[in-house]
Amino acid sequence: MEPWPCPRDGGQILKALLTGLCALILLVVPAAAKSQTEADLGVQLAHHLKTMKRDTQVIRFFDRNRWLLSDPRFTKEAQRQLTLHRTSRARTRLKVAQAKAAVARARAARREREQARRLAAYRAASPREAICNVFGSYCGQALAVARCESGLQTTARNGQYLGLFQMGSSERRLFGHGTVAIDQVKAAHRYFVASGRDWSPWSCKPWS
């Protein structure tokens, strides 16, 4: 343990002057190395910032009361306190920098996990979900066309025609394709928009 940053000896005047201030002062006690979640790291950072603020308060106290450092009655204890808190502040500044970096890494990792979950959900969408999400107000028409063209099967094949909307090889080169529903639906939607939104490229029509 570090020495407690309040005077145990020295003049009564110095003790009186520091009494109120010392009640606020705590040294940094490293947190137990347990689960380093983003919340844990945030708490540690807040603690380090608070400690650095308290050290700064003590240093400023002595800056405003320089006579304590030159009065023979209080010099020894005042110098001890000033050195102690200067050292603590310098050490804590390093801890603040490290904690900020750790928080930034934790936030980046959380964003990556969230992005991975969203991507997984995106790619796992069923044909019906993908069609309605992409085609919006044309959902009913698109479902009817895809049901007629492929039976809503992403693996449907008829010669060169593949997927939910049975797009041919030239169309796939122009508008894309994929193995999962969402990729096939987006490609079909691009084709649908480029053709004037009238379903003219498809043999199946939503009203047939």
Sign of CA pseudo-dihedral 34, 38, 39, 43? positive
Q: What are phi and psi of 9, to 5 degrees?
A: -140, -175
Q: How far is Cα 163 from Cα 181, in angstroms, rounded to an integer?
A: 8
Using one digit for the tens of pLDDT, what is the confidence trace for 80-130? Answer: 999 999 999 999 999 999 999 999 999 999 999 999 998 898 889 999 999
Which residues, in sequence order, are CB contacts of 58 under 8 Å at separation 6+?
5, 21, 25, 81, 82, 85
Pick the CATH number of 127-194 from 2.40.128, 1.20.58, 1.10.530, 1.10.10: 1.10.530
**Tokens matching residue 140:** 């009913």
pLDDT category, 12, cuts 50, 70, 90? low
Average predicted confidence (pLDDT) for the chain: 86
Q: Provide the pLDDT for residue 28.
A: 38
Boundaries of every domain in the chain? 12-123, 127-194
- 8 A C-beta contact, residue 150 and residue 165: yes
- Give the dihedral of Cα atoms 12, 14, 19, 20; nearest 10 deg: 140
* pTM tops 0.75: no
Task: Give CA–CA dist 135/28, Å, rounded.
Answer: 58
Mean pLDDT of 46-72: 94
Spell out the residues 6+ positions from residue 25 whose beta carbon is closer than 8 angstroms to its own. 5, 6, 54, 55, 57, 58, 85
Q: Is the pLDDT of residue 6 over 70?
A: no
Digit-coded pLDDT (tens) for 134-143: 999 999 999 9
